[in-house]
A and B are shown apart, each in its own frame.
Chain A
């Protein structure tokens, strides 16, 4: 953006704004709110809903402020009678093609159309209801995402999300005119297309057209069943975002209140995905070192760089888009699934409960985890390892339903056995976190010393840059790792599948300089996951990430290999990392998929 300032007049006030910005941005600087629907900070400008129109003196028509650059001397009115009337008409038009059953809509009270329609006092009877004579479908085929055409206002935010942020293109615009709508390839059901279930479209849908498939009722049912022992695990990113569902500003950590709330909801055991995140680091760290050894010492043809496998959206993406590189994926299950496999084996054993009576629930910042839990191979305990996955949003709804005053809850703690965790596990929730946690452990395994970063904070892999990388020189290594002496370990971190694609382009032409790559499907990592509170934008994601790093710094133990429960787990149950039990319960394989 140029430094040049120009003068315009907004609602009678002379203001000086940077040249090159839009009218919408100029109004924002002046604290004038212009309503928007198709506009989203994370996406390119569409200019198609036309709700943000304003009046410019001397112009015949009302331009969309999101798509119109400021020009010197412009005289702009954001709230003239002409503007108000036009916005009302446009909103009434949108309402006329929208299923207005707000009372039964999951997004009620968090719907941008509802809010604006109410603000502009839209009378539902102005125009003819266009849904009456149209057929539309509600697609519930996917484990993760529900698509309800009757609530779609064709703003195309989902389409842009799927194309620009994720490069998946599962959703696109089809037909034109009155028939124009958002659909998959030949309107195929969501379960059968390239959709990665990342849920970024849900986070950006202004209405209830795209939502996660909910399992709230099933979870209540399990809780209410006296014969069931219901365990719940919560992912690291949930604790820094759940507050937004319950009246807090973004970036507030509610870990203690969440633990208390979960107990009061009736879960029999409140455990922590952080525990299995630590476990993942042990397994994945050893896997990396093992791959390096086999490559460098045994000269085996081992695929490198190794890539993380915690993000189920990323996994489905690579299965569809780059199936030739599945061998580069770490075979480690995600923390959720490691937890699931252990809950119905190790935990059941320790507690003396028949695994059949255990219902394993996880609370995730993610919609893809719902799909992951239902993958056919995820039943190494002999049963489906994870029974139900709910999002941060669903948990928020359950807590509201229960009538608890969340803000007043005392801080509680996770239960023992698989409830203990470290700072390394907490940072899994932010992009770069898995890498940082892995380096804290792997470096120490190899050299016997802590990573050479101030306060263990490996800042080069932190932040919101799409792709980041770092180098760590391995010197004075322990004798058993002598083959790594002097090697510069090169790592990279990418978040959002468009950035993953950039990484994969290099990998696929054999030009990736890295040993280890962390990839998270969602922008910002799990804190920006498809199951997190709506709205989302970079500012909110940064606040959640900051909260994650604060949580890390407050933890007593900050390295995965020092988690006492994990140490105990290896001693009592698993034996060694990459051992036989681990191999059976904690590792998995991947499937080639069509690109439809």
Chain B
């Protein structure tokens, strides 16, 4: 608990208390563990002298300021039509099967969360997905399994 709070203070000190720095602060705190908690939000609000409800309202607006508990790695599979046309559904099914979770869930070992997202800008190389910040393109079920495997090995 204490460690997390100090991370928030460091982020606020780094960017400054002015309201214009709210997004960078939220991102920095989120980036450290892939999601934001209730206490993160109220702590940030207090540090930046903003209302907690307001900071919550801002955070909840943005897709990647996740307010749900997530795993170490977040997989975002593109759900836009161009990737769908290239078989993103198979990718999703492969991932669900391999990780034994449904979209929106996190593996029991906390390694992966599986989510969908809108166009990530790789339509010519679909299907595509992001794992954390890293894009993966021209996916096939085999390729996906390989990628997941690498992540498992890394950790």
Contacts and interface: CB of A to CB of B under 8 A. Distances in A.
Contacts of B38: 186
B46 A173 contact: no
11 contacts: A163-B54, A169-B51, A169-B54, A170-B53, A172-B57, A174-B61, A185-B53, A185-B56, A186-B38, A186-B56, A193-B53
A174 B60 contact: yes
B42 interface: yes
A175 B61 contact: yes
Given A169-B53, A171-B53, A185 B42 contact: yes
A183 B60 CA distance: 11
A263 interface: no
Interface of B: 38, 41-42, 46, 51-54, 56-57, 60-61
B139 to A, nearest CB: 27
Interface in A582-596: 595-596
A204 to B, nearest CB: 17
Interface in A207-222: none
A176 interface: yes
A170 B52 CA distance: 8
A548 interface: no
A596 B52 contact: yes
From B38, B53, B57, name the one whose CB has the most chain A CB atoms within 10 angstroms.
B53
Nearest to A186: B38
Contact of A172 (B42, B46, B54): B54
A163 B57 CA distance: 13
Interface in A182-219: 183-186, 193-194
Contacts of A163: 51, 54
Nearest to A167: B51
Q: Is the interface of B mostly helix, strand, loop or mixed?
A: helix
Contacts of B52: 185, 194, 595-596
B57 to A, nearest CB: 4
A405 B93 CA distance: 71
Contacts of A172: 51, 53-54, 56-57
Interface string A34-51: 000000000000000000
Given A172-B51, A174-B57, A595-B52, 13 more contacts: A163-B51, A169-B51, A170-B51, A170-B53, A171-B53, A172-B54, A174-B60, A175-B61, A184-B53, A185-B42, A185-B53, A186-B56, A194-B52
Contacts of A176: 60-61
Given A186-B38, A595-B46, A596-B42, A194 B57 contact: no
A175 B53 contact: no
A184 B55 CA distance: 11
Interface in A146-164: 163
Nearest to A594: B42
Contacts of A174: 56-57, 60-61
A163 B52 CA distance: 12
Nearest to B52: A185
A193 B45 CA distance: 14
A194 B45 CA distance: 13
A184 B38 CA distance: 12
A163 B42 CA distance: 17
A171 B38 CA distance: 16
Contacts of A169: 51, 53-54
Contacts of A175: 60-61
Nearest to A177: B61
Contacts of B41: 185-186
Interface string A482-515: 0000000000000000000000000000000000
A237 B134 CA distance: 63
B148 to A, nearest CB: 30
A173 B55 CA distance: 10
A174 B46 CA distance: 19
The 6 A-B residue pairs with the shortest CB-CB distance in the complex, in nearest-first order: A169-B51, A172-B57, A172-B53, A185-B53, A185-B52, A174-B60
B95 to A, nearest CB: 25
A184 B41 CA distance: 13
A194 B51 contact: yes
Contacts of B61: 174-176
A193 B38 CA distance: 13
B74 to A, nearest CB: 19
Nearest to B56: A185
A555 to B, nearest CB: 43
A174 B60 CA distance: 6
A171 to B, nearest CB: 7
A501 to B, nearest CB: 12
B53 to A, nearest CB: 4
Contacts of A170: 51, 53
